[in-house]
Amino acid sequence: MNKWLIIALVGLLLFTNGNKVSRKIEPAIAGNDVETRHGASVLEKNDQITGDDTKSLEKSAPARTRTRHTVSATVAKLENIQVKEGDRVKIGQVLVDNPDERKFLETKRRELELAIATNQPVPIPPSPPIADYSAEVAAVESARAMLASLNQTPLPEYRFTTTELIQVMDRDIIRERQELALERVRSEQTLNQAIANLQTAKSDYQQRLNDYQSKVMEVERENQERQLKQAKFRRDLAELDLRKDYASTTRSPYTGRVRQVKVLGQSESGLKVEITLLVSE
């Protein structure tokens, strides 16, 4: 009797404890389900926030654009274009080069600079010194004074009146009178020669003045021609300076790709070309 009572009590205790354990386990399982669902909703919300942030970043990030830039140049021949359509170029890369024309212009410039340096105006020659006629004038005055002195010297008088007696008795007087007359003639000749010498000196000086004036006119005329040549040389030099862009090297101002190489036409300086670059910004 006691044995079966004990077995019944043990069974009752086990049943009671089993219900308590199941009641404790069920809330825990339910709680875990709630936490799992809450975690999933949080992840979904986080995924939604991440997606929204990505879209906002995509909207805020600027899109890369390509800009066209045109470079103009002049070439002597098409072979001087160093790029073609589709080429990738870097900043500073040579697009157009004219080495032959540049060499020609450099040689021409040196020639013009030399011509300008050597084609300087000729200085006006110095004028002849002022004429000095003091020696000639002194000679004239001396000869005139000598002649005046001789003219004032009286002739010696004859002692006799008849020609026969004079020729016989006054021979010394005749000789003195002849010598005085001869000195007067000589003095007149000396004066005339002194006057002629003065006139010659004046004529010579006037001739030197005329020659000097002619030389001055010639130099002025030559300087005018030199000025005309000088002006032409300087115009030619200015034209060379205007053509320096044509002869220079054209480099790319940007890094990009050559979209188009276009020949615009012929000009006096050469072929006008236009190179279009696509530049990413």
Q: How far is CA 27 from CA 5, 20, 23, 114, in A?
A: 35, 12, 7, 111
Task: Give the span between the Cα atoms of 226 and 215, in whole angstroms.
Answer: 16
Q: Do 257 and 275 belong together in one domain? A: yes
pLDDT confidence band for 245 (50 / 70 / 90): low
Q: Do 91 and 55 belong together in one domain? A: no
**Helices (DSSP H) in 61-124: which residue ranges?**
99-118
Last residue of a domain, one of 61, 85, 107: 61
- What's the pLDDT tens digit per position in 42-65? 334 444 433 444 344 344 445 567
Nearest in space to 243 (alpha carbons), one of 70, 71, 73: 73
What is the average pLDDT across 89-95? Answer: 92
Question: For position 176, what pLDDT does the model report?
Answer: 82
200 vs 60, residue with greater confidence: 200
Q: Do 19 and 55 belong together in one domain? A: yes
Q: Determine contact, residues 222/122, Cβ cutoff 8 Å.
A: yes
What is the average pLDDT across 39-43? Answer: 39
Q: Do 140 and 229 belong together in one domain? A: yes
Task: Give the span between the Cα atoms of 224 and 86, in whole angstroms.
Answer: 58
Q: Determine contact, residues 97/192, Cβ cutoff 8 Å.
A: no
Q: How far is CA 117 from CA 71, 113, 239, in A?
A: 38, 6, 18
Structural domain includes residue 109: no
Question: For position 208, what pLDDT does the model report?
Answer: 94
Q: Do 141 and 234 belong together in one domain? A: yes
Specify burial of residue 96 (Cβ count, 10 A radius: 0-12, 13-18, 19+): buried
Write out the residue range of the structural domain in which residue 203 sits: 134-241
Q: Do 30 and 5 belong together in one domain? A: yes
Query: At 276, which CATH number?
Result: 2.40.50.100
Q: Do 146 and 228 belong together in one domain? A: yes
Of 5-9, 95-99, 156-160, the one with minimum mean pLDDT is 5-9
Task: Give the span between the Cα atoms of 202 and 196, in whole angstroms.
Answer: 10
Question: For position 10, what pLDDT does the model report?
Answer: 54
- What's the pLDDT tens digit per position in 118-135? 999 999 999 989 999 999
Question: For position 136, what pLDDT does the model report?
Answer: 94
Count of structural domains, the chain: 3
213 vs 179, residue with greater confidence: 213
Q: Do 79 and 43 belong together in one domain? A: no
pTM above 0.85, yes or no: no
Structural domain includes residue 115: no
Question: For position 63, what pLDDT does the model report?
Answer: 52
Q: Do 80 and 31 belong together in one domain? A: no
Q: Do 147 and 235 belong together in one domain? A: yes
